[in-house]
Amino acid sequence: MYKWNIVDIQWSLCHILLKSSSSTTYSLIVRQQILFGDTLQTSFISPSGRSRDSSIASRLGDSRAAYFGTSIGVETWTSLRFLVSLLPPPPLPSPPPPPPPPTPTLVFWRTPPVGSYKINTDGCLKDGVASGGGIIRDSSGQCIRAFFSFYGDCTILEAELRAILDGIILAQRLGLSVLWVESDSTLAIHCITKGGGPWHIQATLRHIRHLLALDRDTITHIFREGNQVADLLASEGWDRRYYYEYSSQDLPRRHRSLVQIDRFGLPTVRGL
């Protein structure tokens, strides 16, 4: 079935108008594309042929303006307008298709090599108030020390970087070297390894680079699903609003269960 569009309608009307004539005192002339797009414009003209707005086309400088010089009577025009009003409106553009659902993937926490220690950290921001937390583990996945801290009014990027800095300071205070720092913030890792970032984090970045030997130590990204212990500690720092350290013996039961999941190599599903 043929579908009419506005150009077909206009040219069909113009064909009818060109074959019509009338001697009424005031008649109508159809003008094609005088203003914008394909809108059909009309204006009254007098018997002398001078339009009251005949300068519109010249003022706009629209080279597409086309005049059809035959006029028709008002009654004929009214009938044509009624016919046009019966046409259905143009269809709305169809919305874009929804994006495909993410493919579920398995996220594993990996133990560090023998003789090195892994620091997992995370930042937390709620209601404009930030905190952080982290955990240090050995090559067998056992917890050496965990911490949480409260940072107050700062951005999430600052919280991520301050949690990394707190973890490195804690590891060095414990005499640990050959560190593997892991965070779920790609932006924080990029600022440390590649530079850049806003001015208010530059002091923290310099401190991290001073303590972290990038030729010996490692800093990598991990998905949030593989960073659950640090995420839990960061949330605890927001709730308690002070700095605290856990030893391997006094680590809460929920934290210990997540440590065991990582230690035994059990994955967490991402993308469900």
Q: What is the pLDDT of residues 130-143, one digit of tens each?
A: 999 999 999 999 99
What pTM, to 2 d.p., does this model score? 0.65
Q: Which residues of the chain have pLDDT under 70?
A: 1-84, 87
* 1 found inside a domain: no
Do residues 242 and 164 share a domain? Answer: yes
* 102 found inside a domain: no
* 175 found inside a domain: yes
* 95 found inside a domain: no
Do residues 222 and 134 share a domain? Answer: yes
**Count of domains forming the chain:** 2
* 92 found inside a domain: no
Do residues 57 and 140 share a domain? Answer: no
pLDDT of residue 33: 36
Do residues 181 and 263 share a domain? Answer: yes
Do residues 24 and 117 share a domain? Answer: no
Domain with 35 in it:
6-85
Q: Residue 96 and residue 91: Cα distance in Å, rounded? A: 15
Do residues 134 and 49 share a domain? Answer: no
Do residues 224 and 131 share a domain? Answer: yes
Do residues 61 and 185 share a domain? Answer: no
Do residues 203 and 238 share a domain? Answer: yes
The DSSP code sequence of the chain is -----HHHHHHHHHHHHHT-----SSEEEEEESSSSTT-EEEEEE-TT--BTTTTHHHHHT-TT-EE----B-HHHHHHHHHHHHTSPPPPPPPPPPPPPPPPPEEE---PPPTT-EEEEEEEEEETTEEEEEEEEE-TT--EEEEEEEEEES--HHHHHHHHHHHHHHHHHHTT--SEEEEES-HHHHHHHHH----GGGHHHHHHHHHH--TTTSEEEE--GGG-HHHHHHHHHHHHH-S-EEEESSS--HHHHHHHHHHHTT--EEE--
Do residues 188 and 67 share a domain? Answer: no
Write the CATH number for 143: 3.30.420.10
Give phi and psi for 212, each to the nearest 5: -100, 120
pLDDT digits (tens, 9 = 90+) for 86-119: 767 777 888 889 988 888 899 999 999 999 999 9
pLDDT of residue 144: 98
Q: Residue 129 and residue 234: Cα distance in Å, rounded? A: 12
Do residues 77 and 118 share a domain? Answer: no
pLDDT of residue 35: 32
Do residues 16 and 63 share a domain? Answer: yes
